[in-house]
Amino acid sequence: MSNVKFKVQPGGTIKGRIRVPGDKSISHRSIMLGAIAKGTTTVTGFLEGDDSLATLKAFQEMGVEIEGPEQGNVTIKGVGLKGLKKPNNPLDMGNSGTAMRLMAGILAGQDFDCELIGDASLSKRPMKRVTDPLRLMGAQIETSEDGMPPLKITGTGEQASLKGIDYVLPMASAQVKSCVLLAGLYAEGTTSALEPAPTRDHTERMLNGFGYPVTSEKLGDQQMKASLKGGGELTARHIDVPSDISSAAFFIAAATVSKGSELVVEHVGMNPTRVGIIEILKLMGADIKLENFHEVGGEPVADVHVKYAPLKGIHIPEALVALAIDEFPVLFVVAATAEGQTVLTGAEELRVKESDRIQVMADALQAVGVDATPTEGGMVINGGKQTPQTTGIQSHHDHRISMAMTIAGLNAASEIIIDDCANVNTSFPTFIELINQVGMQVDVI
| Cα 250 to Cα 254: distance, rounded to the nearest angstrom | 6
Say which amino acid occupies 300: P
For the chain, give the secondary structure using H, E and C.
CCCCCEEECCCCCCEEEECCCECHHHHHHHHHHHHCCEEEEEEECCCCCHHHHHHHHHHHHCCCEEEEEECCEEEEEEECCCCCCCCCCCEECCCCHHHHHHHHHHHCCCCCCEEEECCCCHHHCCCHHHHHHHHHCCCEEECCCCCCCCEEEECCCCCCCEECCEEECCCCCHHHHHHHHHHHCCEECEEEEEECCCCCCHHHHHHHHCCCCCEEEEECCCEEEEEEECCCCCECCEEECCECHHHHHHHHHHHHHCCCCEEEEEEEECCCCCCHHHHHHHHCCCEEEEEEEEEECCEEEEEEEEECCCCECCECCHHHCHHHHHHHHHHHHHHHHCEEEEEECCCHHHHHCCCCHHHHHHHHHHHCCCEEEEECCEEEEEECCCCCCCEEEECCCCHHHHHHHHHHHHHCCCCEEEECCHHHHHCCCCHHHHHHHCCCCEEEC
Question: Does residue 150 have a cis peptide bond before it, meaning omega lies within 30 degrees of 0?
Answer: yes
Residue 101, phi-psi category: left (phi > 0), alpha (psi -120 to 50), beta (remainder): alpha
| Cα 144 to Cα 136: distance, rounded to the nearest angstrom | 19
- The CA-based diameter of the chain, rounded to the nearest angstrom, is 66
Question: Does residue 69 have a cis peptide bond before it, meaning omega lies within 30 degrees of 0?
Answer: yes
Strand-pairing partners, residue 70, are: 73
* Catalytic site includes residue 326: yes
Catalytic pick among 50, 119, 326, 420: 326
Q: Determine contact, residues 109/161, Cβ cutoff 8 Å.
A: yes
Which residues participate in catalysis according to the annotation? 326
